[in-house]
Each structure stands twice: as structure tokens, then as C-alpha cells.
């Protein structure tokens, strides 16, 4: 196994989408993409030039092999991906248009990943050589075993001085399916994190309380202050701020707040003719992580993260296979000129 700079832990999924803007099964065809919140971050970081390894469990069948193979094609080390009896987690996507929003239907109950025993992961070996561990709130929402495994990964990383990146990704329907204590489990994960990708709504779920400030940025400021007070290990909180004018036209800005009181803003970009917004938050997270790993200042880091997230909205599928030069070009002048 290589010694990766970043390790990602989470479920690998197959996405089955209705072609174009059709309704699901309007015609007897589906477009297939590999994905998963943590894998999306890993693929982006690999395209930014980082050594990345994925930890997961996939079905021991051609579907599992295909998804792992797709990650390898994008430069992610899959030697830590285990094959097991069971099924692949799936989700079905109907892409919206006009006044009709997009819709996701999950089919991931009792998947090979969700069913894997928490004590089946050898975290000291799996995290060997890592500097960062990226997790999300999707994994613990899948069931008790996945929740315990995610917590064990985060705590093992803390014990070894590995920085933990955690994306809140609160999915209430997944938590409700098994009656999990989202507040308690997510609080424990936030407590392990060096950076969280979360806004005031996520902090409200984890710490309770409401943020009633008139401006969204003021709500984020208040939530960040509460989070830094509650979690001594936490150094950064980052989030996007999205206004959906229509299915195909959004405004997207971003904030990065530091424990030291720093506050960096990336002004909103207008996203028109959106191709695919799935994975946009993961692309943003990968961009911010790239900035932190490379030692960029806070303003450059959040602008890089936002630009990466914006680019993802123009690319079909869950992955954001763009390089640093593509993101830097969007941050610069003449960003819409033809490159020759």
C-alpha cells in the first residue's frame, strides 16, 4: 500500500439516473455513474495531485469491482477497499428542469458497507502514513455498525495526530430508518474534527438552539462561535451559501471561519444552465482541503473551494475530474475564453 496524504472512509455507490431531464423510468434506460460523498472528495483531491486512498466495503460482484475500478481510473488507491458478501448501495436520480426539482431515491439499506461489522476495520494499519482523514455524516446515518466504525476511525486518527475533516451531511431520512441518535453521534464526530463543513443548520442539529439573525452570514458567524466553544480541537468551519433562483440558476458563495477569529468570504457566483449539482458540496470540500494542505491563505483557500464547487455544476456525474489549473483559471480573468 502507498502512504497516502489523505484517506477517505465511506460507502461507494452506484448512481442510476434518468437520461437527460426525463422522469425516472420514463424510458427503459438509465445512466450509470460511480459516487459517494467521501469518494467524491477523494477523486477531486487525486486530480489536484494528492496521494489519496479510499477505505470502504463493496459487494463481491461485478458491480463492486466496477465502482472500485472507476476510483482507480481517477488515481485513487483502492487497496484498502474490501470486498464482501452483500449488495451495492444504489441511488436513483431524476434531474429536475424548469419548475420541477431534482429528486433522489436511496436504495442502500443492508448494503455490504452498511452491514460490515465495526470491529472488522484495522484502523492502525488502514490509516498508516495518512496526514488527513475525511469523513461525512452520511456514513453514521446508515446504521449502528457504520456509525461505530466512523467514530472508531475518527478517534484512531486523533490518537495518531492525523487531522480529521468532517462534512456534516445531515440526512434525516437515513437516521430515521434505524432510529439512530443523530445528535449524540454527530456531536462525537464534530468533537474529533480539525475542520467541519457545516452551516448554522448543522450546528443547530448537533448543539441545539436556533439562529435567528436576519442575515445568513450572521447566522454562520454565531454558529461558528458556538462550535469553537464546544469543540476544542476544531480549527475551521467552512460552508457554502446557496440561493436557488430556479432549478438551472443558483447563486453560490462561501465562508471559511477560523478559531483565531479569521473570516474569509468568497463572493457569490451566478451558476446558470446547471448541468449536474450532485457532488457540488464535495467538490467544494476538496477545494478547501487542497488549500489547507498546500498552505494557502484563508481568502485564497475559500475562493479555490468555491471555484471547484462551481465547476462541478457543469460536469455530469458525482465526480469533479478537474485539475488545479482548471480551478485557478476560473478564479482568474478571461475565465470564459476558449483555451487554445
Domain ranges of the chain: 236-329
* Mean per-residue pLDDT, 232-261: 95
* Mean per-residue pLDDT, 222-251: 95
* Mean per-residue pLDDT, 142-163: 97
What values do phi and psi take at 14, rounded to 5? -105, 130
pLDDT at 2 over 60: no
Residue 88, C-beta contacts closer than 8 angstroms, at least 6 positions apart: 12, 13, 14, 58, 59, 61, 63, 64, 67, 111, 112
pLDDT for position 51: 97
For 15-70, what is each residue's pLDDT tens digit? 999 999 899 999 999 999 999 999 999 999 999 999 999 999 999 999 999 999 99
pLDDT at 1 over 70: no
pTM here is 0.95
* Mean per-residue pLDDT, 272-279: 93
* Mean per-residue pLDDT, 234-262: 95
Mean pLDDT of the chain: 94
For 76-108, what is each residue's pLDDT tens digit? 999 999 999 999 999 999 999 888 999 999 999
pLDDT for position 98: 85
Q: Using a pLDDT cut of 90, give the percent of the chain over it.
A: 90
pLDDT for position 339: 55
pLDDT for position 335: 55
Q: Using a pLDDT cut of 70, give the percent of the chain over it.
A: 96
Q: How confident is the model at residue 338 (pLDDT cuts 50, 70, 90)?
A: very low
* Mean per-residue pLDDT, 323-338: 77
pLDDT for position 37: 96
Q: How confident is the model at residue 333 (pLDDT cuts 50, 70, 90)?
A: low
pLDDT at 297 over 70: yes
Amino acid at each position: 500500500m502507498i502512504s497516502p496524504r489523505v484517506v477517505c472512509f465511506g460507502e461507494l455507490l452506484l448512481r442510476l439516473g434518468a437520461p437527460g431531464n426525463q422522469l425516472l423510468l420514463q424510458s427503459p434506460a438509465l445512466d450509470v455513474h460511480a459516487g459517494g460523498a467521501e469518494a467524491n472528495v477523494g477523486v477531486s483531491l487525486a486530480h489536484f495531485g494528492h496521494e489519496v486512498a479510499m477505505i470502504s466495503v463493496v459487494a463481491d460482484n461485478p458491480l463492486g469491482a466496477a465502482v472500485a475500478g472507476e476510483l482507480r481510473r481517477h488515481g485513487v488507491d483502492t487497496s484498502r477497499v474490501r470486498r464482501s458478501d452483500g449488495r451495492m448501495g444504489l441511488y436513483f436520480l431524476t434531474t429536475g428542469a424548469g419548475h420541477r426539482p431534482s429528486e433522489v431515491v436511496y436504495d442502500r439499506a443492508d448494503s455490504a458497507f452498511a452491514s460490515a461489522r465495526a470491529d472488522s476495520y484495522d484502523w492502525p494499519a488502514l490509516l498508516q502514513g495518512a496526514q488527513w482523514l475525511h469523513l461525512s455524516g452520511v456514513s453514521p446515518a446508515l446504521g449502528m455498525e457504520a456509525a461505530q466504525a466512523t467514530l472508531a476511525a475518527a478517534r484512531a486518527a486523533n490518537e495518531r495526530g492525523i487531522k480529521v475533516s468532517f462534512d456534516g451531511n445531515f440526512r434525516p431520512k437515513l437516521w430515521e430508518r434505524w432510529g439512530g441518535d443523530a445528535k449524540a453521534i454527530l456531536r462525537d464526530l464534530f468533537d474529533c474534527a480539525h475542520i467541519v463543513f457545516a452551516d448554522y443548520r448543522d450546528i443547530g442539529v448537533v448543539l441545539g438552539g436556533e439562529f435567528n439573525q436576519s442575515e445568513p452570514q450572521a447566522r454562520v458567524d454565531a454558529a461558528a462561535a458556538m462550535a469553537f466553544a464546544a469543540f476544542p480541537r476544531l480549527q475551521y468551519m467552512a460552508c457554502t451559501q446557496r440561493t436557488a433562483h430556479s432549478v438551472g440558476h443558483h447563486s453560490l458563495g462561501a465562508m471559511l471561519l477560523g478559531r483565531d477569529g479569521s473570516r474569509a468570504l468568497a463572493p457569490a457566483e451566478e451558476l446558470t444552465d446547471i448541468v449536474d449539482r450532485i457532488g457540488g458540496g464535495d467538490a467544494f470540500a476538496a477545494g478547501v482541503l487542497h488549500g489547507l494542505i498546500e498552505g494557502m491563505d484563508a481568502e485564497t483557500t475559500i475562493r479555490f473551494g468555491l471555484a471547484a464547487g462551481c465547476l462541478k455544476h457543469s460536469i455530469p456525474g458525482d465526480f469533479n475530474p478537474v485539475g488545479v489549473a482548471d480551478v485557478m483559471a476560473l478564479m482568474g480573468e478571461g475565465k470564459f475564453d476558449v483555451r487554445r
